[in-house]
Structure 1
């Protein structure tokens, strides 16, 4: 009888613990092979560990919950707790975030990574308070370059071409300054767009070229590395405000720890993806970066003239 009572008490305590645990949802559009998905899985594991199981995160990859824009809107209205979206798309929901997408803002990957860990990044991600979401964390998304059916060595080579960009005014202006015709298109439609000739080229990282199979329909990758825009994990303000200060701290600490791992994974995956791309016939080209930088310089100049954007540009430029 005593054993039965003990078993009943134990099972009751387990049920109570399970009832108190809170599950948060996190959606994104990347494949499970992507370093960002792997980084988000590490983030979820750390949250569970640091909260002793009181907080868990369920990840929905591969655009299961809709396009990146769809998922961001679900976060804003509280239907989804978190979503990882393209850093350039984020400016559609908070204009100040466009500072991250300014071309040639970051000197190199070390500078970009210093920014992702900085108070500057955290302050920037809080600019959307009152709009239904804030930024929780940034993720390394590599350097973006142009790829298509031919190489591009100077901006002149882009003149008149239809080039896919994220749904971002900053990206559209950049391509226009380079002479191309910017074509906004959801991430999930790029392959078909390139395959059917709806666009002549796209711009993204080497890992996106390979993991989204764009390398099957775009065999020329021109390494101008015009932007190093981090991607961003948005969290619903309703979700964030419902968490205790301790729980908020757990999410923040776990996201920064996971970022370190994700950066390592990204570097390793990108090196492997370069080799995979070469094996299927992709050719890589070094380009005249100075010419690309000069063509888009007005974007940095204009941002510096705006009080809020200028403050963030200067703070980022001062990072070491």
Structure 2
């Protein structure tokens, strides 16, 4: 993969103040992941595709590793037009549109295939459309490893969770789910999690295994439990007034590039997940498989919590489970 321009934070002020020329449209993309992460690589594929099919009409500026904005700021910055594009984790969009919590509903989606089917439903389209009222144009989805349970000590059952301080991404639905499991939830951004685990602010964390590897969480944990709480992903957003002002053919080029990046992303995620256990063991992590009885304990602990959710979320959970 060829190298792309990465604009350093020191150049941000000057860049943001410079309007795009008549010959090109600049797309500024902020994201928190390091260059080797699947999200970063997917954005690079998008960049290559878009710049190629637009014959240079679009110039994409990349801000990885939270150089420009932290993950909790990306959605608002996109809505304001401070940046043209972001691909925030589902949970960060739920702060703007609570129905996005369907994608964080714990132990609802059991495979990528089930999630992908749900994304083709009218229910999913209605949730995405609601973002347009907030100056956000949703164009597609990219994906991530499922969120699994990392522990400073092995966590083999729901009994092992009781009283533990367990990190989630900032998400009310996930925090309440962790409470339902008998643990103490704590919302910590991924960029701060290593130190939190090291210092005992968290006893464990739900996070994607590939993200944990790139952030070296294995240096401060002992085991990863294969409790796939939810299948992570990103919704690709553009600043709607900027997107609407583009000629239709240019909008179509963006949509095509997002779709081509998704094809790369899906294949990569599946291959990555297939070998992730071996990678974790190679860095000294114990990988804990849960049998059906242990999984059922977690499901039963969550059932009363589902009944407290927004009725629209409950209806979408029923829809997802029917797929």
Question: 2:194·2:216 contact (CA, 8 Å) conserved in 1?
Answer: yes
What is the RMSD of the two structures over their aligned residues, measured on CA atoms? 2.2
Q: Residues 107-126 of structure 1: matches in 2 within 5 Å?
A: 107-116=110-119, 120-126=123-129
Distance 1:242-1:144 versus aligned 2 partners, 3 A rule: same
Where structure 2 has 5 or more consecutive residues not aligned to the other structure, the ranges are 1-20
Q: CA deviation at 1:78?
A: 1.1
Q: CA deviation at 1:37?
A: 1.2
Question: 2:208·2:232 contact (CA, 8 Å) conserved in 1?
Answer: no
Give 2:215's match in structure 1, choosing from 202, 212, 217: 212
Q: Residues 98-247 of structure 1: matches in 2 within 5 Å?
A: 98-116=101-119, 120-247=123-250
Measure, in 2, the Cα distance between the counterparts of 1:118 and 1:54.
33
Aligned residue pair count: 301
Q: CA deviation at 1:84?
A: 2.0
Where structure 1 has 5 or more consecutive residues not aligned to the other structure, the ranges are 1-17
Number of the residue aligned with 2:300: 294
2:101 is aligned with 1:95? no
Give 1:85's match in structure 2, choosing from 85, 88, 94: 88
**Helix, strand or coil for the counterpart of 2:108?**
coil
Q: CA deviation at 1:147?
A: 0.7
**Helix, strand or coil for the counterpart of 1:88?**
helix
Measure, in 2, the Cα distance between the counterparts of 1:120 and 1:249.
24
**Helix, strand or coil for the counterpart of 1:106?**
coil
Number of the residue aligned with 1:312: 316
Give 2:60's match in structure 1, choosing from 51, 57, 61: 57
Q: CA deviation at 1:311?
A: 4.6
Question: 2:38·2:265 contact (CA, 8 Å) conserved in 1?
Answer: yes
Q: Deviations over 1:80-133 (max 9, x none)?
A: 111222212221111111111101221322212333466654442222222232
Measure, in 2, the Cα distance between the counterparts of 1:253 and 1:311.
32
**Helix, strand or coil for the counterpart of 2:221?**
coil
Measure, in 2, the Cα distance between the counterparts of 1:302 and 1:260.
36
Measure, in 1, the Cα distance between the counterparts of 2:199 and 2:266.
34
TM-score normalised by the chain length of structure 1: 0.86
TM-score normalised by the chain length of structure 2: 0.86
Q: CA deviation at 1:158?
A: 0.8
